[in-house]
């Protein structure tokens, strides 16, 4: 039987380029995981970089949990990660595992809030050493209650550490503009010379505005659906922080329908949309398939691996900072969830 190969990826995802991007990000953030054991996921595509970054940053050992998913089989995932690890010269440090024993968990210094590990349950958290740190892997204000048992972390005194994505060494937010442009292009909106409304109530607003304006769009920002005025919009972009209920329910959908031409597209960047309410209001919504509740409707990896490499490296750096007992500063890498 021939050896399996990972799915064919565009040239921007080439192994040599990924290694170079990881080296740059580690150097820029000064990530140093010496003496530390990291638990993360074994994933596909750009998200496979997380265990490799940890190993390249001198982690004592790295455990990567593998699970079958719609993105690739466990065999494909292992093949891809082994290929990256070999190219980076860290094969001996990356251990792909299919289950988490209490003995393994007792060794962990940093555990990442990554897809295959979610949810981080009380059972998992109770097995960690009291000195461990949970790496949120995005900004603290984006934290989702369903991802982590925060009460268990609090009982154990285990900090949950977000990342300052706007730190100059990370700079992930600057990719949100190009990402939104990509999403609009995907649905047939050229952006250039288009009239676009951006409805955003969070820190995504400025980078998305810059990205759309930079591509020649006429853009107006609204902080709430209810203040969107009627105009000849080509598209209305929703980038609202998720709540327990959809950000676009029936009342919001009806307001949008009254403010938008029938031919305009409602683009879901972030923030849940009640698709039944949108359909009853005769709104055209993109993407056609809704994302998982609370998640962005387009992944950063859609525009290449670099924002993912920066994000994962920054997330590990933020956790490393707190694990070493260094002070958390407003303009630093780290943000403590639930502590302002």
pTM, 2 dp = 0.94
d(CA 14, CA 50): 16
Mean pLDDT of the residues in the chain:
96
Please name each of the domains of the chain with its CATH number. 11-170+304-336 (3.40.50.720), 188-286 (3.40.50.720)
Which tens digits make up the pLDDT trace of 203-255?
A: 999 999 999 999 999 999 999 999 999 999 999 999 999 999 999 999 999 99
Residue 339 is predicted with a pLDDT of 55
Residue 260 contacts residue 236 (beta carbons within 8 Å): yes
Residue 7 is predicted with a pLDDT of 60
Closest to 49 (Cα-Cα) out of 322, 321, 300: 300
d(CA 78, CA 218): 46
Average pLDDT over residues 36-61: 98
Q: Where are the alpha helices (DSSP H) in the chain?
A: 15-29, 49-56, 74-88, 102-105, 122-127, 150-156, 176-186, 205-214, 250-259, 275-280, 306-323
Enumerate residues 6+ apart whose C-beta is below 8 A from 75.
Answer: 4
Closest to 264 (Cα-Cα) out of 293, 228, 295: 228
Which tens digits make up the pLDDT trace of 103-159?
A: 999 999 999 999 999 999 999 999 999 999 999 999 999 999 999 999 999 999 999
3 state SS of 304: coil
């Amino acid at each position: 039987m021939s050896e399996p190969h990972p799915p064919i990826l565009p040239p921007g995802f080439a192994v040599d380029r990924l290694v170079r991007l990881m080296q740059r990000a580690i150097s820029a953030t000064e990530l140093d995981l010496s003496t530390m054991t990291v638990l993360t996921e074994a994933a596909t595509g750009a998200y496979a970089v997380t265990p490799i970054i940890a190993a390249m940053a001198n982690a004592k050992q790295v455990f990567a949990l593998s699970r079958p998913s719609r993105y690739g089989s466990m065999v494909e995932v292992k093949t891809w990660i082994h290929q990256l690890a070999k190219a980076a010269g860290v094969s001996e440090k990356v251990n792909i595992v299919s289950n988490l024993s209490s003995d393994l968990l007792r060794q962990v210094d940093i555990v990442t809030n990554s897809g295959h590990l979610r949810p981080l349950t009380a059972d998992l958290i109770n097995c960690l050493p009291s000195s461990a740190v949970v790496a949120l892997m995005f900004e603290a204000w984006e934290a989702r209650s369903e991802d982590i048992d925060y009460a268990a972390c609090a009982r154990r005194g285990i900090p949950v550490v977000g990342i300052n994505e706007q730190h100059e060494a990370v700079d992930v937010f600057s990719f949100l503009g190009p990402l939104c442009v990509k999403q609009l292009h995907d649905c047939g909106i050229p952006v250039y010379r288009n009239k676009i409304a951006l409805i955003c109530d969070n820190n995504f607003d400025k980078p998305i505005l810059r990205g759309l304006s930079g591509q020649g769009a006429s853009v107006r920002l609204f902080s709430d659906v209810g203040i969107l005025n009627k105009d000849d919009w080509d598209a209305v972009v929703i980038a609202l922080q998720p709540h327990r209920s959809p950000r676009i329910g029936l009342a919001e959908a009806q307001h949008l329908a009254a403010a938008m031409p029938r031919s305009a597209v409602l683009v879901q960047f972030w923030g849940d949309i009640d698709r039944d309410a949108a359909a009853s209001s005769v709104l055209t919504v993109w993407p056609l398939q809704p994302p998982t509740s609370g998640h962005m409707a387009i992944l950063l990896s859609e525009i290449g691996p670099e924002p993912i490499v920066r994000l994962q490296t920054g997330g590990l750096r933020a956790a490393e900072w707190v694990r070493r007992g260094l002070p958390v500063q407003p303009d630093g890498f780290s943000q403590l969830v639930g502590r302002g």
